[in-house]
Amino acid sequence: MEIRITIGEPNEETIGQVALLHQQGIARGFLSSLGTGFLSILYKAISRSPYSGVAVAMDGDTVAGFAAVTLSTKKMYSWIFRRYWFRLGFPFIIKCLSPEKLMKALQTIGYGLLRKQYGVTMRPCAELLSIVVAKNCRKKGVGRKLIDVVDEFFLRKKVEAYCVVTNAADSVSNSFYLSNGFRLNKKFHHHKILMNEYLKDLHHFPGKPLPDRNAAETTL
């Protein structure tokens, strides 16, 4: 498998595959319930915002996995809201017409903007928003390679630490983060589900050399 990982603005076809992977890989998440059309616009916005990025692992023309990151959830959401409020807001409102969905939507937005109230750490602001590897590419090191590229992205931006949140009951993602240098920082409830917040301290590796620009191209 020849994997090439890049952070940039993916084309429409790639963004569509990223959206589908999100929906399949994080099937129970609220954002997945909003559909691949909504997710495509959201990931396009995340890739364009100066406060975030999407790393895509390509195996030929097929997306093998992706990771979305932000330097500041609050700044990213507010940048996206100002530019995409109509394209994202309209389908969002249509999908949230039931009181239960509206509550989930408000909790999801509230988590991004008011993390302190959820008992989630306010430092660091940088966060790994999502990471998904295609089912047929799992357990081959693609996820680990994506984390390497995410670390490199944050190191270049002078970020010392970043966090990620996952369902405490999901043994695969918890063991994935632990085996990639994250440490459990906090537990909290979101949508009545127990969540684990992990932190990765990049300043623990002060001498870590930045890989050269071709490091994102690899054969697994």
Ligand X SMILES: CC(C)(COP(=O)(O)OP(=O)(O)OC[C@H]1O[C@@H](n2cnc3c(N)ncnc32)[C@H](O)[C@@H]1OP(=O)(O)O)[C@@H](O)C(=O)NCCC(=O)NCCS
Binding residue (CB under 6 A) for ligand X from 83, 144, 156, 208: 144
Q: How far is the CB of 97 from ligand X (least distance, A)?
A: 27
**In sequence order, which ranges of the chain are alpha helices (DSSP H)?**
12-25, 35-48, 73-95, 99-113, 142-156, 171-179
Q: Does 140 bind ligand X (CB under 6 A)?
A: yes
Closest approach of Cβ 178 to ligand X, in Å? 7
Nearer to ligand X, 74 or 140 (CB): 140
Which one of residues 39, 71, 132, 202 is an interface residue with ligand X (CB under 6 A)? 132
User: Given the complex with ligand X, which of 74 and 138 has the nearer CB atom?
Assistant: 138
Under the binding rule (CB under 6 A), the answer on residue 136 touching ligand X is no
| Cα dist from 186 to 122, 179, 197, 198, whole Å | 12, 17, 5, 7
Among 36, 40, 73, 173, binds ligand X (CB under 6 A): 173
- Please tell me the distance from the alpha carbon of residue 51 to that of residue 72, in angstroms, as a whole number: 6
The C-alpha atoms of residue 219 and residue 40 are separated, in whole angstroms, by: 28
Examine residue 143 and tell whether it contacts ligand X (CB under 6 A).
Answer: yes
**Helix (H, G, I), strand (E, B), or coil: what is residue 180?**
coil
The interface with ligand X within residues 52-71 (CB under 6 A) comprises none
Q: Which of 13, 114, 175, 184 forms a contact with ligand X (CB under 6 A)?
A: 175
- Type of residue at 120: V
**Residue type for position 210:** L
* Cα→Cα distances 163→36, 61, 120, 149, Å: 26, 30, 10, 15
Residues of the shown chain interacting with ligand X in the complex, contacts defined by CB under 6 A = 25-26, 130-133, 138-144, 166, 170, 172-173, 175-176, 179
